[in-house]
Amino acid sequence: MALIIFTLRLAIGILLFPMFLLNLLGLWNQICKKWFPYFLRRFTVMYNEQMASKKRELFSNLPEFAGPSGKLSLLEVGCGTGANFKFYPAGCRVTCIDPNPNFEKFLIKSVAENRHLQFERFVVAAGENMQQVADGSVDVVVCTLVLCSVQNPEQILQEVCRVLRPGGAFYFLEHVAAESSTWNYFWQQVLDPAWYLLFDGCNLTRESWKALERARFSKLELQHLQAPLPVELVRPHICGYAVK
């Protein structure tokens, strides 16, 4: 099986040789960072249509984690175009972090469309190093379709625990690896190297639930599900929340 996967990866590599060459020359990342926000803007419209009920269910208890002031302080890591904004409760104070500065203009548009929120700032930084956010300063951290593409899931979860106040919560919704005995997992393995380059570092075979289970949360509510998406490769999902 490993030989078949290698052969198919090689064939795909030949077909997509220009992309792999640009990556080898150090040019592809610059191109990807510029075009990816435009792709994500279109993708998140479709994703929100298919996943709206799940997102509403997931975020339904956000107000329960509001601090003493009564207002919810929320940090979204890997905010992208702001696709989650419409699911947040009114009056929520939102800070966004993303390593790609090209998302900012799309984020501003989402802020204008979601006046029920109190937008605070956009920080250009990786989730693994959120030094601009003080220890224990937020009630909730949200991360959707992000753990698949971070360099170090364990480190980002350490940062999440650092910035959360005691009793704060981390909400997640992520696509993950399929069950290892399925054809879906076979094709995830075959397409993973090309997918990684095409979609800005996204990993098809990441088992993000394992990092969540190892993280030092006092409570973890985690659910595996098959998302109703047209692309079978990204249907396996996990969602839930963890309490510090």
The model carries a pTM of 0.94
In this prediction, residue 98 carries a pLDDT of: 95
Rounded to the nearest integer, the mean pLDDT of the chain is 94
Is the pLDDT at 1 greater than 90, yes or no? no
Predicted confidence at residue 216, as pLDDT, reads 87
pLDDT for residue 68: 83
* Cα dist from 38 to 41, 70, 138, 201, 211, whole Å: 5, 36, 30, 16, 30
The CA-atom distances, in angstroms, between 107 and each of 49, 77, 116 are: 19, 13, 15
Share of the chain above pLDDT 90, in %: 90
Q: Quote the tokens at residue 107.
A: 């984020």
CATH number of 1-243: 3.40.50.150
End-to-end CA distance of the chain: 41
- Which SS3 state, helix, strand or coil, does residue 74 take? strand
Helix axes 183-198, 28-58, angle to 10 degrees: 130
Nearest to 173 by CA among 38, 34, 80: 80
DSSP 179: P
Tell me how many degrees the CA angle 28-30-31 measures, rounded to the nearest 5: 65
